Structure 1
Amino acid sequence: MSLLSLRGLSKSYGTVRANRGIDLDVAEGSIHAILGENGAGKSTLMKLIYGVESPDEGEIFWQGDKVSLSSPAEARSRGIGMVFQHFSLFETLTVVENISLIVPGRKAELTSRIRELGRDYGLEVDPAAHVHALSVGERQRVEIIRCLMTDPKLLILDEPTSVLPPQSVEKLFETLLKLRDRGVSILFISHKLEEIRSICDHATILRDGAVTGNVDPREHDAHDLAQMMIGRDMPAPRPFEARAPGPVMLELAGLDCRPDDPFQISLKSVSLQLHAGEILGIAGVSGNGQGELARLISGETRRHPEARAEVMMMGQPVGHLGAAARRKLGFAFVPEERLGRGAVPEMSLADNTLLTAHRLGLVKRGLIDRRAEEAFTARCIADYDVRTPGPQAEAGALSGGNLQKFIVGREIELGPRLLFVAQPTWGVDIGAATAIRRKLVDLRNAGTAVLVISEEIEELFEICDRIQVIREGRLSPSLDVSETRVEDVGRYMIGAEERARP
């Protein structure tokens, strides 16, 4: 008997049909993958199962009985837990306070369980830390731990490994297999097809809101799965063009920074040089200073006037300058937080272009040129395959991957001399991820300096000329990708390389 069965499930938002007549059966004690491009309807389907949304049509059966999952609390009471792609945590509360809203128990007991689960699953997080001070990766760890503490019968995981170093992924998979063997079913959403092939018993493929196939992923290679998912052949990665690096476009010279927030990471003697016509990647386990480094480079955190030369852009000291002044020099930035930092969710895509592209003739004499704004937005939508009804769609209504494609496209269309991208393909399907990486390589080949922070080591090896690893606020020496192995980067990420030094 199936643990969960869906029959004819449909959901629409206005004229957009997110799910169309979906049938799905999840067996007890199985790991079941949901595959599909961004906008294929995966997140909507999970929200229907978790009680966040109600279906327009269709039926849901739980352990053979027809049920109406009217709320997440109702779903949790039946044994369904979910980790969302966009997190559901209160930023002003601590980790343990957030967890206590769902999991009963005294604070000391919950703190002990959080630490224990963190050690067991490689999901370490400070129970006393306030959520607003956590990185995106650390917030996802909190979500995963919170679900595991409810002892679920069905665990829905959306991109669970995107925040883990390679050394921790295997450990997490061992845990998931143990849960499966004890009878827990897992709905597993991931764009890493090799992960799905290695751990999942079954895969359901969605395209345009409908089920297009059910397969055993272990019987197909990643290329076959990608073709089933996107309905076309995968584009080949863009080859690098051999060329000598140009002038230094970004330089950090022995930068030290102690943030005002005690929960943030202090940066210690951070040094790097990035040349025109190259891509430099920053690898590292989430929460090791990536956010602090990003804020210093973007201009959100400024240096004192006497320390302004610690950050140089295009040969000029900019440590004392804010974000707008740095952008005037030819700097563009894609933050890891899409909603609220990269885009305003309540605003249309067209109006979101004004946040950074207003200088491209979209505003004239203080007035918005709506025709130019619409044309620029339409170009971003078309060139970056953003699945949306049009330029007037609200940013918050897009799937995470489609919003990411739009923000990356908006920044690249600025024609920057220096582009800084944090987590460029986080939560993005394989087709879109390949397209974004091709765009970054094209930009590099055209002479732009590109800095990429990513927790996807394979991504950095695919597109970068050099890699540096950040750990506990310090940067490793520069590693030439052509002479470095993935395992070497992993050793720097966990500190093994530092401990091996005399």
Structure 2
Amino acid sequence: MTRLALNHITKQYPAVVANDGVSLVVQPGEIHAVLGENGAGKSTLMKVIYGVIRPDAGSIAWNGQPVTIASPAMARQMGIGMVFQHFSLFDTLTVAENIALGLPSGTRIDELERRIADTAAQYGLDLEPQRHVHTLSVGECQRVEIVRALLGKPQLLILDEPTSVLTPQAVGKLFDTLRQLAAEGCSILYISHKLDEIRSLCHTCTVMRGGKVTGVCDPRVETEASLSRLMIGAEPPAIDHQEKQAGSAVLSVRRLSLPRAHPFATELTDISFDVHAGEILGVAGISGNGQQELLAVLSGEDTRAPAATVALDDAAIGRRSAAWRRAQGLAFVPEERLGRGAVPELTLAQNILLSHQGSSVVSRGFIRQRATVQLAAGIIKRFNVKAAGPGAIASSLSGGNLQKYIIGREVARQPRVLLVAQPTWGVDVGAAAQIRTELLALRDAGCAVLVISEELDELFEIADRLVVIAKGKVSPPIKTSEADLNLIGRWMSGLWPSDHNATQSREPMHD
């Protein structure tokens, strides 16, 4: 008996038809990929299945019976679990309290905490049930969502970009778990832009483009190039990363140590490195090892650091505000898109003002509305953002399209220093190639770029040098051309030469 059958599902919004007569069949024990570029309608379709939104037309059959899925609560009762790309967690509640919201009212928190810890350990997802969500990194929030879904022992598990912030080892363990679940009869709908994952994990692949199904294939007999052609109509452009001589150090960190801002934060210990003009410095590491804390210090969100520990052009800026640093040419792309990278309720044009506050869009204290709209329109066109236009509300964009817009907004400032976290998280292969090309173009124009990413392949593709952050400490730098995955993997466990910080703090760092 077929587990799930969608028949001609249609969902239309004022500016776009998100799903246009989509049909999809999932069998028991099948791992079924849904592949498509950003804005193709994948996430909308998953929300229809999970009862988050109601389709305008079409029908759904569950275990052979016609159903109307009225809400996520009903979906969970039927045996459908979902891990969203954008998380649905309450910041002020603990991990266990968030998970308890979807469980019967009599659930005991202490017993639930034990279940969470056991499930997290079983699947290699490091998680502390008593931590408050506002203290978690994006990667840790994703672990909460995955564990929450697995606790329900679903008949159908929907995973929307589940591995985007997991380590290769954790991905391998998750895949083992998914294969075991499938062998036990659980069906899995798997959304990912990582073509190698789809080829190694999934039995069937439905390809979507522009809200329609354009094909169904067995990904195990396809190549990454053929899957890319099915998805975007072409192979992604090759990244042209050529070595070049970097300039002087623009952003420097010297012997930075910082205590925890809250009990669950990561303490930073004796961190030193430089970012040079005309280079990309990549920062690798497992989520939750101090990336958030380091970026907060560098961006000016956390001004507790001693002034001399962070320098811009040799000027001590550790106590300077984020606004002051932006005025000096520093740009920042946080890992959280909605809420920090963009205000969900504002338009794309209005979101320009989060980082563009110079004379081009603000004159004598007044916002130049036409200039703001024109700038937003230019970013939408340049970065191929699928949106209704500058007046589109930020929350109406798909995750990948919003990411392209936020990065485009910062690139358009032509910054001297760019700090960017997880630049291609959740974007399709074509958009990822474009973002990486733009980062390399910034580097070639003399910008000092620091990229924090848990995509090791991405760092090897665009970074000139690499460092690794583990348990609040940073490794020695190494030229990307001299590194390999095994070395970086060892360093991600903190296993690097022990005399690094002492040596680096005495001498400037040169290639």
Shorter-chain TM-score bucket reads over 0.9
Q: Give 3-state SS (helix, strand or coil) of 1:357's partner.
A: coil
Distance 1:183 1:323 in 2: 51
- Alignment-mate amino acid for residue 417 of structure 2: L
Alignment match, 1:64: 64
Alignment match, 1:465: 464
Q: Give 3-state SS (helix, strand or coil) of 1:494's partner.
A: coil
- 1:101-152 superposed Cα distances (whole Å, 9 cap, x missing partner): 2235322222122112222211111111000100010000000000000010
Q: CA 1:496 to 1:173, structure 2 compared with 1: closer, same or farther past 3 Å?
A: farther
- 1:224-276 superposed Cα distances (whole Å, 9 cap, x missing partner): 10111012332111232x32110101111010011331111110111111100
Alignment match, 2:235: 233
Alignment match, 1:437: 436
Alignment match, 1:319: 318
Q: CA 1:270 to 1:496, structure 2 compared with 1: closer, same or farther past 3 Å?
A: closer
Distance 1:480 1:103 in 2: 49
- Alignment-mate amino acid for residue 473 of structure 2: R
The correspondence of residues 390-429 of structure 1 with structure 2, limited to 5 A, is 390-429=389-428
Alignment match, 1:245: 246
Alignment match, 1:274: 275
Shift of 1:454: 0.4
Shift of 1:495: 3.5
Of 229-238 and 322-331, the range deviating more from structure 2: 229-238
Alignment match, 2:96: 96
Distance 2:372 2:108 in 1: 54
- 1:31–1:185 CA contact under 8 A, matched in 2: yes
Of 295-304 and 63-72, the range deviating more from structure 2: 295-304
Alignment match, 1:115: 117
Question: Unmatched 5+ residue regions in structure 2?
Answer: 501-511
Alignment match, 2:10: 10
- Alignment-mate amino acid for residue 101 of structure 1: L
Distance 2:271 2:210 in 1: 46
Shift of 1:498: 7.3
- 1:255–1:269 CA contact under 8 A, matched in 2: yes
Alignment match, 1:298: 299
Q: Give 3-state SS (helix, strand or coil) of 1:88's partner.
A: coil
Distance 2:317 2:154 in 1: 51
Alignment match, 1:131: 133
Distance 1:446 1:260 in 2: 36
- Alignment-mate amino acid for residue 189 of structure 2: L
Shift of 1:360: 4.5
Of 367-376 and 63-72, the range deviating more from structure 2: 367-376
Q: Give 3-state SS (helix, strand or coil) of 1:2's partner.
A: coil
- 2:476–2:496 CA contact under 8 A, matched in 1: no
- 1:274-319 superposed Cα distances (whole Å, 9 cap, x missing partner): 1001100111111111101110000000036xx2010011221111
- Alignment-mate amino acid for residue 165 of structure 1: T
- 1:314–1:329 CA contact under 8 A, matched in 2: no
Could you list the structure 1 runs, at least 4 aligned residues long, displaced by more than 4 angstroms after superposition: 496-499
- 1:324-376 superposed Cα distances (whole Å, 9 cap, x missing partner): 10011111010111111111111110111111112151111112212211111
Alignment match, 1:285: 286
Distance 2:464 2:497 in 1: 23
Shift of 1:91: 0.9
Of 357-366 and 150-159, the range deviating more from structure 2: 357-366
Shift of 1:496: 4.9
Shift of 1:433: 0.5
Shift of 1:396: 0.8
Shift of 1:488: 1.1
Q: Give 3-state SS (helix, strand or coil) of 1:7's partner.
A: strand
Distance 2:90 2:60 in 1: 30
Q: CA 1:203 to 1:325, structure 2 compared with 1: closer, same or farther past 3 Å?
A: same
Alignment match, 2:155: 153
Shift of 1:497: 4.9
Of 17-26 and 106-115, the range deviating more from structure 2: 106-115
Distance 2:88 2:429 in 1: 25
- 1:469–1:476 CA contact under 8 A, matched in 2: yes
- 1:388-447 superposed Cα distances (whole Å, 9 cap, x missing partner): 010000011101100000000010010111111011001111110010000001111121
1:356 aligns with 2:358: no
Alignment match, 1:333: 332
TM-score by length of 2: 0.95
- 1:153–1:184 CA contact under 8 A, matched in 2: yes
Q: Give 3-state SS (helix, strand or coil) of 2:295's partner.
A: helix
Q: Give 3-state SS (helix, strand or coil) of 1:386's partner.
A: coil
Distance 2:86 2:368 in 1: 33
Alignment match, 1:485: 484
Q: Give 3-state SS (helix, strand or coil) of 2:355's partner.
A: helix
Shift of 1:467: 1.0
- Alignment-mate amino acid for residue 44 of structure 1: T
Distance 1:108 1:233 in 2: 51
- Alignment-mate amino acid for residue 218 of structure 1: R
TM-score by length of 1: 0.97
Identity %: 54
CA RMSD for the aligned pairs?
1.3
- Alignment-mate amino acid for residue 29 of structure 1: G
